[in-house]
């Protein structure tokens, strides 16, 4: 693969805003031609009102050294839900594996958008090219396997340590559990309460 640039194929739009429903979704991709020489990032930011304003950020990215997390990883920011920011390191053998992981991330983002349909029907199809994204189930399963392996090998890197209350919020957040995998929650809990 010579170019990592997926938004042009799998997304109908990269900014979605419905002020009436108080929803904003921003897709931000930093394309790369050569992963060994350039950074790559695909980030999805969501904002919506559900009793209070909720901001969430999901990302799959790879930074170049000297950044302290210069390895392929998933990153989540759930500060408004008092969970905070954390990373899951994933080992990807080559560009083809990285491509599969990014496509799996796009497949999993479909679930995030589907969840937001309770505030605005039709937004998933408005943002994603569903006929193509629906074909990425195998890549979604591949990413799930890489997440399991990454948690088993490296655990999870939290920016801040938490409390029992925060862990309970994490365990109730079905969208995060979908990305991480229910079977990994005990490991997450152990790391979070260190």
Structural domains in the chain (count) = 1
CB atoms within 10 A of CB 44: 23
Per-residue pLDDT tens over the stretch 4-26: 899 999 999 999 999 998 999 99
Percent of the chain whose pLDDT exceeds 90: 39
What confidence tier does 192 reach under pLDDT thresholds 50, 70, 90? low
Question: For residue 24, is it within any domain?
Answer: yes
The pLDDT of residue 81 is: 76
Q: Which residues contact 111 (CB under 8 A, 6 or more apart)?
A: 175, 178
Is the pLDDT at 48 greater than 80, yes or no?
yes
Under 8 Å CB-to-CB from 119, ≥6 apart: which residues?
Answer: 21, 22, 23, 48, 49, 50
Range(s) of the domain holding residue 174? 7-192
Q: In what order do the strands lie in the sheet with 15-18?
A: 15-18, 23-30, 40-50, 52-62, 73-78, 84-89, 157-158
pLDDT interval class at 1 (50, 70, 90) = very low
Please report whether residue 84 resides in a domain.
Answer: yes
In a domain, 2, yes or no: no
The pTM (predicted TM-score) of the whole model is 0.89
- What mean pLDDT do residues 102-122 have? 93
Distance from C-alpha of 40 to C-alpha of 64, rounded to nearest angstrom = 9
């Amino acid at each position: 693969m010579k170019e990592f640039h997926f938004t042009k194929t799998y997304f109908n739009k990269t900014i979605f805003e419905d002020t009436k429903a108080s929803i904003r979704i921003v897709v931000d991709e930093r394309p790369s031609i050569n992963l060994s020489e350039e950074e790559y990032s695909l980030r999805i930011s969501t904002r919506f009102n559900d009793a209070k304003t909720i901001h969430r950020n999901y990302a799959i990215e790879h930074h170049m050294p000297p950044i302290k997390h210069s390895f392929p990883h998933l990153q989540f920011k759930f500060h408004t839900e008092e969970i905070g920011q954390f990373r899951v390191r994933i080992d990807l053998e080559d560009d083809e594996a990285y491509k599969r992981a990014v496509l799996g991330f796009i497949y999993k983002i479909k679930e995030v958008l589907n969840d937001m349909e309770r505030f605005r029907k039709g937004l998933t199809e408005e943002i994603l090219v569903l006929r193509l994204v629906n074909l990425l189930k195998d890549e979604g399963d591949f990413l799930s396997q890489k997440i399991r392996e990454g948690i088993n090998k490296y655990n999870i890197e939290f920016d801040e340590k938490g409390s029992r209350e925060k862990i309970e919020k994490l365990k109730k957040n079905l969208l995060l559990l979908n990305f991480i995998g229910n079977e990994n929650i005990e490991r997450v809990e152990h790391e979070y309460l260190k």
